[in-house]
Amino acid sequence: MSFNHELIKFRELQTTMEDGKRFYKTPDGDSYPSVTSVTGILAKDGILAWRQRIGEEKADQITKAATSRGNEVHRLAELYLKNELFSQEKLFDEPKSNSYQMFESLSEVLDQNVGMVRAIEAPLYSHNLRVGGRVDLIAEWDGELAVIDFKTSSKPKKEQWIDNYFMQSSAYAQMFEELTEITINKIVIAVALENLGTQVFIKRPSDYIQQFIDLRKTYDIINSDSRD
């Protein structure tokens, strides 16, 4: 499949790492934490408990494998959406690896739903939210402009587990509107699963943006306390 593009050009943002957190420097010189650093505080206690339960060494192995898998699926999706994948398949040593199979499931969902593409892996920021980030995809989904975020998982997700995903994409929607004056009223989370297809969750950013704003304030409180 070949995707149609009307890409909006965004200025590239400098990134830095501080205490394990990514920060984006805006063209105005402000430095804002990444969206995922903000939403990450929701899972912090659960991750610590999980690491203690299974042990640090095993947790590091699982985390490294999951990160590698997620990065490869995202890279494949980026090339596919740019109509460049099949000319660059030689970049991947194992085209039928587990990650590739997960991508193939995701690509079927993209083929069925994605229309005009407006942004791929685009750097965004918001002075109002005081965050930055890089959005996976902004495109028409069933005819309506949407923020589309890709995730990978070894097991299916339940909707009540992924408010952080919805908040993250809602923040991207607001950042996009702030920079372009184009409103987005749909967010799509596509979760590529191991041997189980792809889950799709569709929401409205208006239902989650206030939760993100509140979380952003909590992030400041936590990090202010850690510096005291």
* pLDDT tens-digit map of 169-194: 999 999 999 999 999 999 999 999 98
Domains of the chain: 14-223 (3.90.320)
**CA–CA separation, 169 and 188 (whole Å):** 8
Lookup: tokens for 54 = 């299974």
23-41 burial code (b ≥16 CB/10 A, e <16): bbebeeeeebbbbebbbbe
For the segment 130-161, what is each residue's pLDDT rounded down to a tens digit? 999 999 999 999 999 999 999 999 899 999 98
What is the value of pTM for the model shown? 0.87
